[in-house]
A and B are shown apart, each in its own frame.
Chain A
Amino acid sequence: MSLLTLDAITLPAVAECSLSVAAGASKKKLGAGGAALLAAIGGHAPLTAGRILLQGEDVTHRPAERRGTATLFGPETLFAHLTLFENVAFGLRRKGGGFGGIARRAELALDLAGLRGMGNRRPHDLDREQGWRAALARAAAPFPDALLLPEPPGFLDAAIRALRPRDGGAVLLALSEPERALALADRIAVLHGGRVVQCAAPGELWERPLNRIVAEMLGPVNILAPGDAALSAEQPAPLYALRPERLRLVAEAPAVNGGAGVVEAAEFRGDSALLTVRGVARVALRVRVPGHAVPAQGSTVCLAWEARALAPLAA
């Protein structure tokens, strides 16, 4: 049984979204509408249509306080009259459990969020980053069935990994930065135009995007049509996605799946550089090369790629 099921739910920003999340999964929703979807799952936004099932139970019309979900809200929502410890213990107290157990788990959550020894501080003593950390600890401490993180700031990533429920729960994030989604998630649902376009593991999503939208949303990519270059792919398709790291600089240009071109620009990124090479295909190609071996701008290079690097796309 899946932990969370969205059955054709419709929201002002989302059209007929269906998803299913397994327990222990860490799933990211990428693209516009993700935060709206999380608000609906948490019970903070009414659905226009559809059903939400949590642990097999229909929670569509249940108020937020009886859902077993926890949402990350900003630091301005911390309870100002309570200490950080009491803030984090708030959800734990509602769930019950002995005082010792509650105290231990609240301290642990503060530790994992990077606020060790700050349990006696008040929210107004914190800077913004610490406030976010406290808000994350407060939401994650009761081990909710689903921890909902709409657009969490990037500095929380390590704490999100540390606080993620070990068993039985799931973390759902809405992110608009693909690199973070690829690094954090077990599965990613790509939303476009309020619909789930593709839902897959990060590696699969990167290597086998369903269409051009998914391919371009995740990161730099070359989109090639069969007539754009001498292509030899494993299967026929109207379009192919070719990731920049799948192109290699070679000594001699092959007849198909490669060619000679001129380096038009180079974007240095430290560990790697992203070249723009013109002349190999009808469109300029993006090529990722190691940062320590970047060819000079204007130099001629020979490129090659393997047939299986060409990921077929739906039109």
Chain B
Amino acid sequence: MAASWLLVLLGAPLALFVWAALHLPLALEQGALIAAAAMAGAAALLAVPTALALRALPPAWRWAVLGLALVPALLGVPLGWDIWAALPFELPDAALALPLLQALLPVATLPVLAAVGAAPPGERRAAADLGAGGWARFVALDLPRLWPGLLGGFALALVMAAAELALRLR
């Protein structure tokens, strides 16, 4: 049951892409996939301090602030690029990465915040009580919990970045 569902979920789109690669003029831009992975990695790493900063806010505010930060992502990266290009001063080409990063960061922060926010509150107090300062608490308590969120954030950001950068129908 589960296996056949997974076959439909994963197999059908994959088969479609294989067919597309063979029959349609798909173009993989030079280095674009690598650039997408690099952008996703940067977004996932930046998501950690972002999530920790959000966690310092009162619980009701965390998701509201993150929701506001998602607006650039919701409006779409192409719009960001257009706005960037319309700015009344010259920007170096590398600065073109910024609108993308701006859209990726809040998306990557979503799973990271969900992961660090799950820590039981008394745990931090107990760790401080046993002599663990801020950095030691981060390494001992937050980091082990962060991994799943970090991977999820990277995956989300990679999907988004690859969609923007990598593949186009010519």
Contacts and interface: CB of A to CB of B under 8 A. Distances in A.
Using C-beta atoms within 8 Å of the partner chain, give the interface range for chain A: 20 to 34
A70 B140 CA distance: 18
Interface in B123-154: 123, 125-133, 136, 140-141, 144-145
B25 interface: no
Nearest to B120: A76
Contacts of B128: 43, 63-65
A90 B125 contact: no
A269 interface: no
Contacts of B92: none
A142 B131 contact: yes
Interface string B58-94: 0000000000000000000000000000000000000
A73 B122 contact: yes
Main secondary structure, interface of B, reads helix
Interface in B6-64: none
A42 B129 contact: yes
A74 interface: yes
Given A66-B131, A94-B132, 16 more contacts: A43-B129, A64-B129, A65-B128, A65-B131, A65-B133, A66-B133, A71-B126, A73-B125, A73-B129, A77-B123, A77-B125, A78-B126, A81-B144, A81-B145, A138-B130, A142-B131
Contacts of B136: 65, 94
Contacts of B120: 76-77, 80
A106 to B, nearest CB: 12
Contacts of A43: 128-129
B170 to A, nearest CB: 49
Contacts of A78: 123, 126
Nearest to B137: A65
Contact of A70 (B122, B123, B129, B144): B129
Contacts, number: 64
Nearest to B126: A77
B131 A95 contact: yes
21 contacts: A42-B129, A43-B128, A44-B125, A64-B125, A65-B133, A66-B131, A70-B129, A70-B130, A73-B122, A77-B120, A77-B123, A79-B141, A81-B145, A90-B127, A91-B130, A94-B130, A94-B132, A94-B136, A138-B130, A139-B129, A142-B131
Nearest to A90: B130
B141 A74 contact: no
A276 interface: no
B65 to A, nearest CB: 27
A76 B121 CA distance: 9
A5 interface: no
Interface in A45-94: 63-66, 69-71, 73-74, 76-81, 90-91, 94
A79 B129 contact: no
B115 to A, nearest CB: 12
A149 B81 CA distance: 59
Q: Which of B125, B133, B145 has most chain A Cβ within 10 Å?
A: B125
B129 A74 contact: no
Given A64-B125, A73-B126, A74-B122, A90 B145 contact: no
A76 B123 CA distance: 8
A70 B127 CA distance: 10
